[in-house]
Amino acid sequence: MKFDELKEFLDLKANHYQSQDFISADPIQIPHRFTKKEDVEIAGFLAATIAWGNRTSIIKNANKMMKLMDEAPFDFIVNHQTSDLDVFDGFVHRTFNATDLKYFVQAIKNLYVNKGGLEFCITQHVSKMPLQTALHNFKKDFFELPHELRTEKHLADPVKGSAAKRINMYLRWMVRPNTSGVDFGLWKSMHPRNLSCPLDVHSGTIARKLGILNRKQNDAKAVLELDKQLRIMDSEDPVKYDFALFGLGAFEKF
């Protein structure tokens, strides 16, 4: 396809898939259960953290996390005592287990009590540096408390080469406007133009088929390459094309 044809095609697919029908089969349904800003952003962060593997399993285990926190994640996290963390014993999603979840709860509490919350801790760096470096700095803040080294693998670091699919997906949820009822548009301190595409096996495969990604690995360099192409198509909202690329791969087997 010529560039204009490709853009028209992807615009069409993006509009098709970013509808409320998308929510019922996607982990974004977890934060959609809440209305309070802090509940939405915490539920979204935890759901995105375990968003790899079978989507049915992701949604089931994300719902379980919310139930273990009494369906009030912000209140549970900021007010919990150490003994309250025992409720997570036995929790597991693939390699993310109770040890990891307990630390994530403690770290999130530290962000809200001492550092201004998730939004500030992530977005404060974005105006000063590239998003990938900003996420690297956020990870340093997140893991400043004593923790087991194994837990660090559950928060990606683009500076170390990761595509950081899950944290980029989470940022899409929080930052993109709620015009179609899918993403939330809660975080006004970051503009959609600064987002990066959540690159995974589906979006990567389709991007290569369409000729907008050449790099074979789904890594940080591939994210930057794809970002450049998507920003040519829409400089103000490049990540809307995540819906098109993911939908074409996951639902249409394009």
Residue 253: pLDDT band by 50, 70, 90 thresholds?
A: confident
Distance CA 126, CA 211 (A): 29
Strand 96-97 with 92-93, pairing = antiparallel
Report pTM: 0.96
- pLDDT for 250 equals 87
Residue 43: pLDDT band by 50, 70, 90 thresholds?
A: very high
pLDDT at 254 over 90: no
Query: Is there a contact between 46 and 65 (Cβ–Cβ < 8 Å)?
Result: yes
pLDDT at 128 over 90: no
Residue 252: pLDDT band by 50, 70, 90 thresholds?
A: confident
The CB-based long-range contact list for 168-172 (8 Å cut-off, 24+ gap) reads: 168/195, 168/196, 168/197, 168/198, 168/199, 168/223, 168/239, 169/48, 169/51, 169/198, 169/242, 170/44, 170/45, 170/48, 171/122, 171/195, 171/196, 172/198, 172/239, 172/242
Mean of pLDDT values over 12-36: 95
Q: What is the number of structural domains in the chain? A: 1
pLDDT at 108 over 90: yes
pLDDT at 1 over 90: no
Neighbouring CB atoms inside 10 A of 114's CB total: 11
Domain range for 194 is 3-250
pLDDT at 247 over 90: yes
pLDDT at 86 over 90: yes
pLDDT one-digit tens code per residue, 139-192: 999 999 999 999 999 999 999 999 999 999 999 999 999 999 999 999 999 999
Distance CA 165, CA 189 (A): 21
- pLDDT for 159 equals 93
